[in-house]
């Protein structure tokens, strides 16, 4: 990321020497859509202060690059921004070629975000069902509870008694964690790992903690399902930016659709891969495709009412665990699409 054409020429030359494919952005706005997912971020000194002002989230493997006699302010910004290194050219050219030559796992875990179009839309239940279904499909999965005011995904899974770290334990890491150690320390059963809130601590997710979690999960899990709040904080925005696909769950009601329009407008700033899941019943006979059209989003699927689902959740049974019913059917299709990297059209 640089607006300096001479520095860009140098960086492209060094990247070519390291055999790296690069994406070029001239400023933080252009870089934001790929900022989280990129295995390495190289920021020209000319854009360092802009990145700080743009509040790009902290993340691992960020290098700020400039030429000899960098201004002292660049070093200060690097520390505030959380950059791991400041490289000064031409001295650091061999080191930077080595960074470009490093090979990162191309099988990075795929991220699926879920947001409720209004309160009580059923986003948490869908997120839990997607995670359970992903594990049934043989995927190592992380389920992330990022909604501070939700009831807790541990309750959705029936895991409130399962030991492991919660969000408060990650807030002091400074964005640096050991991925295998993090995943081992979280509540888990089999191939499903959960990161949720502690009920005796103020609910908050710092952006750097979310960045560290996503980085660890992409390297150690096949699928990451994130349940996000309707009012997007920094952590939720970061998860949306990293998402391969984001689903907005909307009950088939007029007011719910109006509320979801506001959620959609806020989410679209951070993710251009938004789709809608419409949940019945439809008391006013609104059709799913009418709701999707009103929101200007593709229809990812529909959910018919399941009378026994609420009772099963109260008994501590995870959603879609038995593999039967409309929820399990939709989750299977969405997980298959996520793994394949496709977006199958929903049935009418």
Q: What is the pLDDT of residues 303-340, one digit of tens each?
A: 999 988 988 999 999 999 999 999 999 999 999 998 88
Q: Token pair 């593999």 is at which residue?
A: 323
Distance spanning both ends of the chain, measured CA to CA: 43
Q: Residue 106 — pLDDT band, cuts 50, 70, 90?
A: very low
Of 160, 155, 158, 130, nearest in space to 143 by CA: 130
Q: What is the pLDDT of residues 190-206, one digit of tens each?
A: 999 999 998 777 677 88
Of 223, 74, 228, 220, nearest in space to 146 by CA: 228
pTM of the model: 0.75
Q: What is the pLDDT of residues 115-172, one digit of tens each?
A: 999 999 999 999 999 999 999 999 999 999 999 988 899 999 999 999 999 988 876 6
> How many Cβ atoms sit within 10 Å of the Cβ of residue 82?
18
């Amino acid at each position: 990321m640089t607006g300096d054409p001479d520095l860009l020429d140098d960086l492209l030359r060094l990247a070519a020497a390291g055999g790296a494919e690069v994406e070029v952005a001239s400023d933080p706005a252009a870089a934001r859509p790929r900022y989280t997912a990129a295995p390495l971020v190289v920021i020209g000194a000319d854009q360092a202060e802009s990145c700080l002002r743009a509040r790009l989230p902290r993340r691992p493997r960020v290098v700020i690059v400039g030429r000899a006699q960098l201004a002292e302010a660049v070093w200060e910004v690097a520390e505030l921004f959380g950059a791991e290194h400041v490289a000064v050219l031409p001295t650091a050219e061999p080191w930077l070629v080595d960074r470009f030559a490093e090979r990162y796992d191309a099988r990075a875990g795929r991220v699926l975000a879920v947001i409720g179009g209004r309160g009580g839309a059923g986003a948490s239940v869908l997120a839990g069902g997607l995670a359970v279904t992903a594990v049934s499909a043989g995927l190592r999965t992380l389920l992330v509870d990022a909604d501070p005011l939700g009831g807790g995904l541990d309750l959705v899974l029936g895991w409130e008694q399962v030991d492991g770290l919660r969000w408060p334990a990650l807030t002091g890491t400074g964005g640096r964690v050991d991925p295998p150690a993090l995943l081992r320390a979280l509540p888990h059963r089999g191939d499903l790992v959960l990161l949720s809130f502690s009920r005796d601590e103020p609910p908050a997710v710092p952006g750097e903690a979310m960045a560290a979690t996503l980085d660890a999960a992409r390297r150690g899990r096949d699928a990451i399902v994130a349940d996000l709040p309707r009012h997007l904080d920094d952590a939720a925005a970061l998860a949306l930016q990293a998402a391969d696909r984001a689903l907005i769950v909307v009950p088939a009601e007029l007011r719910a659709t109006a509320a979801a329009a506001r959620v959609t407008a806020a989410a679209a700033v951070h993710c251009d891969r938004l789709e809608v899941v419409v949940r019945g019943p439809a008391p006013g006979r609104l059709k799913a495709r009418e709701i999707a059209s009103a929101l200007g989003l593709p229809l990812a699927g529909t959910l018919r009412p399941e009378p026994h689902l609420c009772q099963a959740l109260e008994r501590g049974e995870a959603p879609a665990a038995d593999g039967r019913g409309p929820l399990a059917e939709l989750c299977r299709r969405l997980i298959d699409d996520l793994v394949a990297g496709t977006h199958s059209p929903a049935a009418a």
